[in-house]
Amino acid sequence: MRNDRLFGVGVALVTPFKEDGAVDYAALQKLLEHIIAGGVNYIVVSGTTGEPSTMTATEKSELRSFIIKQVAGRVPLVLGIGGNNTAAVIDEIRSTDLNGFDSILSITPYYTKPNQRGIYAHFAEIAKASPLPVILYNVPGRTSRNIEPATIISLANDFHNIVAVKEASGNMSQIMSIIENKPDDFMVISGDDALTVPMMSVGVCGVISVVANVAPAETVRMVNAAANGDFKEASRLHYKLLDLMGALFEDGSPAGAKAALKMIGITQSETLRLPLVPVCDKTRDNIKAALDKAIK
C-alpha cells in the first residue's frame, strides 16, 4: 500500500450481526455501500471495532472474502492482525490469504505489559514476517501499554515496511514528537475521532474512524477541509460531529456505532457478541440527539 493511500479517512469497520449472533451479510453489504458512497479513502477490516476476537477463523475468512468481493477494488483494504502472542500473530499472517489487502494493522500486545524492548521486538518480528506494509496501532487505553515515540521512530527507521502508526494515545505532546522526528515517508494517523482536526493541524494525515461508519460523508468533508488547510470549515464540521463522536463511546465501542447504524436504517440489529452488550437507554437517547445534530 503506497503511503499516499493512507491519507484521508479510513473506516474501522463494524461487523453487523443478526439477532442470533450470525454475521449479517445483507447489512454488511449495505454498510459497505454506505461508507464507500460517503467518499472514504480506505476500509479497515477486523480491527477491534469489528469484534474479531469473538469470531472463529472460518467466520473471519468468510468475512474477508465477502468484503473483498463487495468492495471490488474501489477502495484499499487494511486487515487487522494482532495479539499478545507474537508467534501466533506471525502464524496468522503466514496462514492468511492476504490477496486483496493492501496492508496490515497490528495492535500493541495487550495485558502482558511488555516493556519498550519487548514491544520493539514484537513488531520487528511482525515486520520480518509480513509481505504487506504494517501499520502500528497504539491505543494504551485498551492495551495498558504505550508505544513511546522513540520506539515508534526506531521501528520506522529500521523496517521499511512499517509505514505508519495509528495513534490513539490522546497525548498531543507524544504525537507531535513522533511527527517531528519520524522519517519523511512515515505516516501518523489519528485513532481518535474527536482529536482528528487538532492532530491534523500539527501534521497527522487523516483518521481511522469509528464515526465514519455512521456519518462517512460528514467525516470526509471534515478531514478534507483540514487537509486543504481550511481549519475554519474543519472546525465547524468537527463541532457538528463532536457530540456524536462522544455518544458513540459512552457505553463502549462498537456498541454505540451499532445503535446508530440501526437508527439510520443501515442494520436491523444492534447485536454484539459477549462480553459486549448493547447501549443503555440513556446512551441511545444521546446518540439519537447527536445524530440529529450531525446528519442534516
Q: Please identify every residue annotated as catalytic.
A: 137, 166
How far is it, in rounded angstroms, from Cα 169 to Cα 146? Answer: 7
| Number of domains into which the chain is organized | 1
Q: What is the pLDDT of residues 229-285, one digit of tens each?
A: 999 999 999 999 999 999 999 999 999 999 999 999 999 999 999 999 999 999 999
Instruction: Using alpha carbons, select from 8, 25, 34 the residue that is nearest to residue 260.
Output: 34
H/E stretch holding 107 reads strand 103-107
93 part of a folded domain: yes
264 part of a folded domain: no
List the Cα angle 219/51/279 in 5-degree steps.
70
241 part of a folded domain: no
Query: What pLDDT is attached to residue 205?
Result: 97
183 part of a folded domain: yes
Residues in the chain: 296
110 part of a folded domain: yes
Say whether pLDDT at 11 is over 90: yes
Q: What is the pLDDT of residues 179-219, one digit of tens each?
A: 999 999 999 999 999 999 999 999 999 999 999 999 999 99
How far is it, in rounded angstroms, from Cα 293 to Cα 296? Answer: 7
Cell numbers standing for residue 176 = 507531535
Q: Is the pTM of this model over 0.85?
A: yes
272 part of a folded domain: no
Q: What is the pLDDT of residues 269-283, one digit of tens each?
A: 999 999 999 999 999
Query: DSSP code of 229?
Result: T
Whole domain around residue 15: which residue ranges?
3-226
256 part of a folded domain: no
Instruction: Grade residue 1 by pLDDT with cuts at 50, 70 and 90.
Output: very low
Say whether pLDDT at 296 is over 90: no
Residue 60 φ/ψ, nearest 5 degrees: -65, -40
Give me the CATH number covering residue 164: 3.20.20.70
